Structure 1
């Protein structure tokens, strides 16, 4: 996910929710602990340790160590790729009794795309995939044409007909691209109030609007929030300011709202990853619930 150039929704504040409003620091801390102990629906899996980055080959042992940290706190894990060690993520998750949303990372390199799609199909046929995601924000990045992406989606659906198949992108893409929405068994949408410059005070209401836009586009299909989060440190974006306090409260608000409204969501992210500084600025490295050293931040 990178910077949004414009807002696509109008923030409404008449029904803004904030589950932690008026609560003391101790009460907020206790809420956080209670949520983690009960377990969230899902976490996006952060693969890379300090000094590592995409392109490095990651061992199964590293995946298992990190997965065991998350195991008591989540029912699902989301992965983003099926190569370079990412293929270990769903295998280890299944060993530990965790369900999997497994993604094939698609870009503008045909050879990489073929390896990713083949890897996703193989993992699914071997029983390691509960939901298959064919690409992540490909339309947003404009790495493929709509027709190219549709061909990959239909190919995967044909190869693994008994597995739920979808595509991940920003919530509004499903309104703009009805052919892709139609091809998906499930709508997998990313919802980031922060990246649209939304102040924290309005962030939960804004995310609700994002979700309901995707829900309307899906025309009856199930919608899963595949990414949402708030950074604990870094640069601000318009009225959105990173801070440990806001990140903690956003996590709590998200989880309580999703539980109350029975919405499935994957929190971004599990661990801080330093390699994400760059296009996203310093803020990219601080989206985890655990820090880069795998210590709980809150």
Structure 2
């Protein structure tokens, strides 16, 4: 039974309905089952709700286009496995298709990402991902086509087409969810993607990843409630009302800014990141105005120096660990 994307609904004092996300083609003409929808709206019980985002380009000189050796992936995933039970990636290029094989003996569940580039490259990467999923079908919980596709200006129809292509390559593996990742405010502009999340998955498997950043919403590190309520009202709720489960695809806090950053503030430091991590962990575990837990990915596992173009100069500084794998602060294991 997959442990990652799962909702729980209390049906009686003695019965708990566990709904594990496994996906297959589904006729969407059938009305949504009230029991399934109730499960999506209930607090999740007895789950580890926090995973981590894994970008591998953290060693000196590494950036997209650098081949990542299997040995590095083994070291990185061993460190992830010390603290987390699941993680997400963003590409299968540059040697990152090896992640699935390496994660399997560690007992890690993988949410495998596909970077959208040229049509030929994107489809080739989906083919590569499908090959690895078939080799280790119990390891991959979901295949995520694109990341923040609305912010990147990628047509939602194009993303939906790649989701169709992915499902065509995984028809024989209905336990792998096909989904995508958009920004927390991108729901209204991403209807074709949301439609595919429904069409390609059974009711209990219909999920969308939304990236949400209280940091960019000017929240204080120890108080994200107002920002999260705004994010719920302006994206999460709309996705849930459409019949999708929401997974927070990214959330985090930077520990520094680049030298010479245009708008550095006093908010970007290790102490604030530690405070925010603990507050975020409580929020996503259900200590919030909804009394509802959300499976979530903390961004990110490692600092990646190549990310120099993000607002406020914080791009290279999101890691729980520095580029050498040293923890920046002691954090609660989820």
Q: Which TM class, normalised by the smaller chain length? A: 0.7 to 0.9
**Is 254-263 or 79-88 further displaced after alignment?**
254-263
User: Once superposed, which parts of structure 1, at least 4 consecutive aligned residues long, lie more than 6 Å away?
Assistant: none
> Alignment partner for residue 193 of structure 2, among 180, 201, 205?
180
Contact residue 133 and residue 168 of structure 1 kept, 8 A: yes
Matched, 1:265 2:278: no
Pair 1:208–1:293, CA change in 2 (3 A): farther
Pairwise CA RMSD: 2.3
Partner of 2:113: 103
Contact residue 222 and residue 279 of structure 2 kept, 8 A: no
Partner of 2:180: 167
Aligned residues: 259
Partner of 1:291: 322
C-alpha deviation, 1:169, in angstroms: 1.1
C-alpha deviation, 1:237, in angstroms: 5.7
Give matches, 1:14-93, under 5 Å: 41-48=50-57, 49-93=59-103
C-alpha deviation, 1:45, in angstroms: 0.9
C-alpha deviation, 1:201, in angstroms: 5.2
CA displacement, residues 183-209 of structure 1 (integer Å, 9 cap, x when unaligned):
113111100122344443543431343
Contact residue 211 and residue 251 of structure 2 kept, 8 A: yes
Pair 1:115–1:290, CA change in 2 (3 A): same
Matched, 1:130 2:141: yes
Give matches, 1:181-260, under 5 Å: 181-184=194-197, 185-200=206-221, 202-211=223-232, 213-218=235-240, 219-234=242-257, 235=261, 241-260=267-286
**Is 276-285 or 287-296 further displaced after alignment?**
276-285
